[in-house]
Structure 1
Amino acid sequence: MSVRLKLTLSYAGFLMLAGALLLVVVWVYLLRYVPAVIVNPSFEARRAAGLSYVPDRYDLLRAFAPKAAAGLVFLLVFGLVGGWILAGSMLAPLTRITNATRLVANGSLAHRIQLEGRKDEFRELADAFDAMLARLEAHDAEQRRFAANAAHELRTPLAITQTLLEVARSDPNRDTGELVDRLHFVNTRAIDLIEALLLLSRANQRSFTREHVDLSLTAEEASETLLPLAEQRGLTIETSGEIAPTIGSHALLLQMTTNLVHNAIVHNLSEQGTVWVTTSVGPRTVVLTVENTGEKLTPQLVSTLVEPFQRGTQRIRSGHASVGLGLAIVKSIAQAHDGTLTLSPRPGGGLRVTVELPAAPPHPDR
């Protein structure tokens, strides 16, 4: 039985029950004023005395029963027809949602229900379904762009390697030392890209062991590791803040902090620039903030920097071979730890990156 038929029978059954109860009430009410048996005089005697015929309960039943049965039949027909129409009208939005679900199952994510009318349960369901489709469509488009960009990025070092090998084969007298150096550089970049993709996949799957981690210590460790690179570029790293305990993977959180500090160093002023790394603690969260000097950035450009393989064409470029996954990995690690990543341009130029993670109580051994 379809839902519409079930609702129709339910409406008709309820209407029949209400009608039967009403008739029972009327019948009981009438019986209070009608004797069980009445002996009436003959017609001539009643006529001579000017009396009328007084019905008893049997007469009342004989007159009432056919009318009650006809009324119940009418209520049954009315309930079935009206219930069928009413059920169809009530279930019409559900039919649209079902059709939209079938389209999604066939691969169409662009369809939207866009249910009209006042806001009721069906409207809320349709709006929630449309919002889910919008997120799925955006995620699908992002994954398609990611796959295309990853294929392009992986193909580039392979194409360069093939070209270098063909040049070496066509010119046996060429200096092999220079060729080996170039091949080593290209191969290292390909390995870095593959490792970044594996790290991104690991963060998205949340397949890691959770432990107590102090973000202030990861900030100091990342800053000390990248200090030679900063000094080489004439930059200063300033690390400050308070103990910021959270729960997660130490390796992933260290990688996240390292990516942020490295990004702040690479995309900075050519000299006399600064990188600020700070940690703070809120009521329920811990915050890691990495800021750097640099050229002024537009909010539109900043909003695209977390996309995979997005390096920011308007930012300062250098000879550093970035794979374009730094901030994308940071976003994935933050989300894997139930945190948020916020990017905003600094008024004086440069970028401010804020990672907010759930706070954890201090480690029991401390």
Structure 2
Amino acid sequence: MDRAPGLSVRVKLTLSYAGFLMIAGVLLLAAVWVFLLRYVPERAMLINPEDNAHLNGVFPVRSSLQYVFLPRAAAVLAFLLVFGLVGGWLLAGRMLAPLTGITDAARMATSGSLSHRIQLPGSKDEFRELADAFDAMLARLEAHVAEQQRFAANASHELRTPLAVSRTLLDVARADPNPDTDELIDRLQTVNSRAIDLTEALLLVSRAEQRSFTRERVDLSLMAEEATETLLPLAEKHGVTIETRGDITPMLGSPALLLQLTTNLVHNAIVHNLPEAGTVWVTTGVRPDTVVLTVENTGEKLTPELASTLTEPFQRGTERVHGDHPGVGLGLAIVKTITHAHDGTLTLTPRSAGGIRVTVELPAVSPPAGPVSDVH
């Protein structure tokens, strides 16, 4: 933003200090003058009138006091003005010194360097709080930028893969004098479907990150029930039983995004389960200020280190991926993004018996209601 040139803060503070000191000096001198006028008589009798016969034995005290007091008062005010300007300039410079480091850090951040930290020394005050808040903001920005760069690199790699496969299939078909057109079309359709799914997932992540959605009153338990009903055939195919239980969980959010969140969680719990006789538990609950959605499943044992990486984009633990449902590697990443877009928290905890428990906690909008449950 272009601004007109003006006085620096240091000059303004200096003038303020000097002005305040001058006002205090004027008030003090005025009080002294009023005191003198009140208690000093206008005239006084001379002890030796013979020495000053021209005064007729009477000395004009007030007029003499005015003659003596006013020049000295003016000299005092001049000294206070100089002292206020010099002292104010030095004090303002000392007080504003921490802002120099903050300004330099801000300029470095605007140039793209996010690794610099102010780390302002000293005890806690307003400047230290500002510096600490700025350092925390730089740390979050640095982490966010690194995550976005990593996401962009992974997305480019993932999108390049189906395009490279399509080109290879077409090159092979062109070189084959008798290509199998039906097989080529089927394989290209499979590759194209994967590219479309990946692109739609990336768009969904971008939409959620930008929070470009309208918040409506939503019952999260209904979203969980709808996702469960939709994925019931997939669960039956994998021999997985889905158990749902919970309370009415009203909140404000995007119905489409929250349905995507619950669908991703239930789908993930189904396809990353035991080969047979697996179970998925879907539970909704309420707390004083939040609503909670918990999806847990049986499955292979996971380490806490592996569980902590599953929300990263394009992270697929090889031991958790089935050949017929490899996905695009964005299922839990989408869940994490939607959760954060709704000001919630996402927690992944490995189950001691195997499998994982995923807990989504979101802000609530009204008191809890009675429980409902069913088993599929």
TM-score, normalisation: structure 2: 0.87
Match of 1:202 in 2: 207
- List aligned pairs for 1:39-54, cutoff 5 A: 40=46, 45=51
Counterpart Cα distance in 1 of 2:78 and 2:364:
69
Equivalents in 2 of 1:20, 1:104: separation in Å?
47
**107-116 or 203-212: bigger deviation:** 203-212
- Tell me how far apart the structure 2 counterparts of residues 213 and 64 of structure 1 sit (CA, whole Å): 81
Matched-pair contact (CA < 8 Å) for 1:189–1:321: no
Residue 139 of structure 2 aligns to a residue in which SS?
A: helix
2:201–2:330 Cα contact (<8 Å) kept: yes
In the alignment, what sits opposite 1:15? Answer: 21
Match of 1:145 in 2: 150
Contiguous gaps of at least 5 residues in structure 2: 1-6, 368-376
Whole-Å Cα distance in 2 between the matches of residues 54 and 238 of structure 1?
110
Residue 372 (structure 2) aligns with? none
Query: Could you say which residue in structure 1 is the equivalent of 2:161?
Result: 156
Contact kept in structure 2, 1:243 and 1:280, CA below 8 Å: yes
Q: Which moved more, 1:25-34 or 1:166-175?
A: 25-34
Contact map agreement 1:269 1:316 (CA 8 A) in 2: no
Q: What is the count of residue pairs matched by the alignment?
A: 357
> CA 1:308/1:25 → structure 2, altered by over 3 Å: closer, same or farther?
same
- CA deviations 1:17-42 (Å, max 9, x no partner) are 21222222222323344322346477
- Is 1:185 aligned to residue 164 of structure 2? no
| Counterpart-to-counterpart distance in 1, 2:8 and 2:223 | 60
Distance 1:60 1:213 in 2: 85
Q: What's the secondary structure of 2:346's corresponding residue?
A: strand
CA distance in 1, matches of 2:207, 2:268: 21
Q: Secondary structure at the match of 1:322?
A: coil
User: Contact conserved, 2:15 with 2:88, CA < 8 A, in 1?
Assistant: yes
Q: How does 1:75-154 map to 2 (within 5 A)?
A: 75-154=80-159
Match of 1:3 in 2: 9
- 2:346 pairs, out of 331, 341, 344, with 341
Q: Retained in 1: the 8 A contact 2:299–2:354?
A: yes
Deviation digits for residues 140-166 of structure 1 (CA, Å, limit 9, x no counterpart)? 111111111111110000001111111
Q: Which residue of 2 aligns with 1:238?
A: 243
Query: 1:230 Cα shift?
Result: 2.5
- Tell me the CA shift for residue 44 of structure 1: 5.4
Aligned sequence identity (%): 73
| Partner SS for 1:110 | coil
What secondary structure, in the 3-state scheme, does the structure 1 residue paired with 2:309 have? coil
Moved more, 298-307 or 192-201: 298-307
Q: Tell me if 1:355 matches 2:360.
A: yes
3-state secondary structure, aligned to 1:349: coil
Q: Distance in 2 between the 1:343 and 1:53 partners?
A: 100
Distance 1:61 1:341, change over 3 A: same
TM (normalized to structure 1)? 0.89
Which deviations, in whole Å up to 9, do the C-alpha atoms of 1:249-272 show, x marking residues without a partner?
333222111100111122222233
* SS state at 2:328 partner: coil
Aligned to 1:254: 259
The answer for the alignment partner of 1:49 in structure 2 is none
Q: For 2:359, what is the secondary structure of its paired residue?
A: strand
Preserved CA contact (<8 Å) 1:200 1:332: yes
Structure 2 counterpart of 1:30: 36
CA distance in 2, matches of 1:41, 1:224: 117
* 1:65–1:211 CA distance, 2 compared to 1 (3 A): closer
1:11 is displaced (CA, Å) by 0.7
1:283 aligns with 2:303: no
Structure 1 pair 12/243, CA: closer, same or farther in 2 (3 Å)? closer
Once residues 243 and 223 of structure 1 are traced to their aligned partners in structure 2, the CA distance between those partners, rounded to angstroms, is: 16
CA shift in 2, pair 1:33/1:215, >3 Å: closer
Which residue of 2 is the match for residue 318 of structure 1?
A: 322
Displacement after TM superposition at 1:7 (Å): 0.8
* Amino acid across the alignment from 2:248: I
Distance 1:203 1:37, change over 3 A: same
Secondary structure of the corresponding residue to residue 291 of structure 1: strand
Give the Cα–Cα distance (whole angstroms) in 2 for the partners of residues 203 and 18 of structure 1.
59
Bigger drift between 225-234 and 302-311 goes to 225-234
> Match of 1:358, as an amino acid?
P
Q: 1:291 to 1:20 in 2, by over 3 A?
A: same
Cα deviation, residue 203, structure 1? 2.2
